[in-house]
């Protein structure tokens, strides 16, 4: 089953207005969810939407507040999200980081006490659309063991790196520091698919590709084993220090995944290059990657962000694929 982008965004907006958003806020928030599904990231679009509605019902998200700047020191600012709607606060924070980058060459906004930002790649694409390199990450609640442990102590903190191209075909890597995000694991289970490589542990303590088994244990595998574990800890440390916000450990005491900490960094390459110079550098590197010999005959090697662009074109033309169970739940709200 497929649904048009416009219909999906309209249904999201309708529901959000019932739960406290004004019309403009509901439209902006609905577009974020719909754009995530449009780009093929269904785990943080339609599939995540019902969970956000539950948070709104419980009062964990306040749709009436926006993030405010608490400290301003040149190219660096510290913001408080006041536990508002995470994606809109994150958008505002990245917009501000871009403004600072226009002035100083680099802009950093440390956003504490925010809620889940949904798809982190949203803010990488946002920076790149404005001609900036974007670097951003978020912490999470404790949902992954540190390497060598079995109990959940660290987050699968998503990290995003984005490099702009003037034609809009930006290079964007958006990855949790677990092998697979929980959203991706859920998406595979809903589609009846197995993971392409082991993504966590089953109830017997063995590595598995079965998403349902991983959901039973909630024991995902850090990407790169000890490397992913170390990166997770470092990202949490930097974010908490810069924001004076909540660490993964503290978020784990809240009961729900709220009060998260996010870092938005924008760098303006036009301070050193013309747009044409940056395009030439990026195009040359990507062109070389695209000459890779595919592992499987008939397959193609993609650069980061290319599949999202492909999904956007396809889903605009044919409609966005939906899990009927999830879509019907939204229609019934």
Q: DSSP letters of 292-321?
A: PPPSSTT-----TTHHHHHHHHHHHHH-EE
Measured CA to CA in angstroms, residue 137 lies from 133, 156, 231, 280 at distances of 14, 11, 11, 28
Query: What's the start-to-end Cα distance of the chain, in Å?
Result: 19
E-strand ranges in 46-158 read 68-73, 76-80, 106-114, 133-138, 144-145, 152-154
**Residue 82 falls in the annotated catalytic set:** no
From 44, 82, 116, 170, active-site residue: 44
| Other CB atoms within 10 A of residue 140 CB | 25
Dihedral over Cα of 233, 237, 238, 243: its sign: positive
Residue 116, strand partner residues: none
Residue showing tokens 């987050």: 155
Closest by Cα among 29, 93, 31 to 61: 29
Catalytically annotated residues:
44
């Amino acid at each position: 089953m497929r649904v048009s982008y416009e219909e999906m965004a309209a249904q999201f907006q309708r529901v959000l207005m019932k739960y406290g958003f004004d019309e403009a806020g509901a439209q902006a928030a609905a577009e974020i969810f719909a754009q995530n599904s449009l780009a093929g990231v269904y785990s943080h679009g339609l599939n995540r939407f019902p969970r956000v509605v539950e948070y709104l019902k419980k009062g964990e998200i306040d749709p009436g507040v926006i993030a405010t700047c608490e400290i301003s020191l040149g190219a660096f600012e510290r913001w408080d999200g006041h536990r508002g709607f995470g994606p809109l606060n994150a958008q505002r924070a990245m917009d501000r980081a871009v403004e600072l980058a226009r002035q100083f060459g680099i802009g950093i906004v440390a956003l504490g006490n925010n809620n889940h930002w949904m798809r982190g790649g949203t803010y990488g694409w946002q920076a790149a659309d404005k001609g900036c390199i974007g670097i951003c990450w978020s912490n999470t609640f404790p949902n992954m063991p540190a390497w060598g442990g079995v109990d959940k102590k660290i987050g699968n903190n998503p990290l995003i790196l984005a490099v702009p191209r003037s034609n809009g075909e930006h290079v964007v890597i958006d990855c949790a520091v677990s092998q697979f995000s929980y959203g991706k694991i859920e998406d595979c289970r809903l589609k009846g698919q197995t993971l392409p490589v082991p993504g966590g542990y089953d109830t017997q303590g063995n590595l598995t590709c079965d998403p349902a088994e991983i959901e039973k244990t909630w024991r995902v595998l850090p990407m790169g084993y000890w490397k992913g574990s170390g990166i997770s800890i470092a990202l949490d440390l930097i974010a908490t220090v810069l924001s004076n916000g909540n660490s993964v450990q503290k978020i784990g005491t809240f009961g729900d995944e709220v009060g998260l900490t996010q870092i938005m960094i924008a760098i303006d390459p036009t301070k050193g290059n013309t747009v044409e110079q940056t395009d030439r550098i990026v195009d040359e590197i990507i062109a070389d990657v695209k000459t890779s010999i595919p592992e499987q005959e008939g397959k193609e090697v993609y650069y980061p962000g290319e599949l999202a662009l492909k999904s956007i074109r396809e889903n605009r033309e044919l409609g966005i694929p939906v899990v009927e169970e999830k879509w019907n739940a939204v229609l019934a709200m």
